[in-house]
Amino acid sequence: MKLKKHWLPISLSAAGLLIALVIIFAVSNTVYPLAFGMHAPVHHEDGVAIGGYDPVAYFTEGVARKGGADLRFNWQGMIWHFAAKEHRELFQQNPQHYAPRFGGYCAFAVSKGFTAAVNPTVWHIQDEELYLFDSEEIKADWLAALGEGIVQDGRANWQ
């Protein structure tokens, strides 16, 4: 009988902790466990993917360049902005190639089972794939773990 009495307070404490975590994640609006399924397929701000940055410019110019609302394309339910008409055309021909991995969420966070917002000026191309990060420090941690399978961890978590 004593064992049953101890389960109730433990169960209530665990449930309270879970509720508190859900509320914190909901209020912060930046980090969610992937398992919660509370994320959009593409990270966006007001329906504009990756903060309005041109996904093609990372590949063709080697820079993070803001796109313009006058050069846009709708893909995966989001608006993508481009800095040049040629960039928009390249994206239209092969959006899967130019779009950032993991829906544009922070690659490090996804590798750990979470989604997190990014700073589109912090990026890396690895094996012809674009990855975005929250900060330079997070990017450095991700790069340091490349040999440990962090990309594969992200892919497994993202599925």
pLDDT at 24: 43
Which pLDDT value is given to residue 116? 94
**What is the C-alpha to C-alpha distance for residues 7 and 28, in angstroms, rounded to an integer?**
31
> Residue 43's pLDDT is what?
85
In this predicted structure, what is the pLDDT of residue 33? 83
C-alpha span between 131 and 111 (Å, rounded): 12
Structure confidence at residue 72 (pLDDT): 97
Per-residue confidence in pLDDT tens, the chain, 159 aa? 455 555 555 555 655 545 544 444 444 446 778 877 767 788 888 999 999 999 999 999 999 999 999 999 999 999 999 999 999 999 999 999 999 999 999 999 999 999 999 999 999 999 999 999 999 999 999 999 999 999 999 999 998
pLDDT at position 21 is: 45
Contacts for 101 with CB less than 8 Å, ≥ 6 apart: 107, 129, 130, 131, 154, 158
In this prediction, residue 28 carries a pLDDT of 44
Give pLDDT, residue 85.
Answer: 98
What phi and psi, each to the nearest 5 degrees, are found at residue 125? -105, 120
22-27 CB contacts, 8 Å cutoff, 24+ apart? none
Please name the residues in contact with 52: beta carbons below 8 A apart, sequence gap of 6 or more: 45, 66, 67, 69, 81
Give the per-residue pLDDT at 131: 98
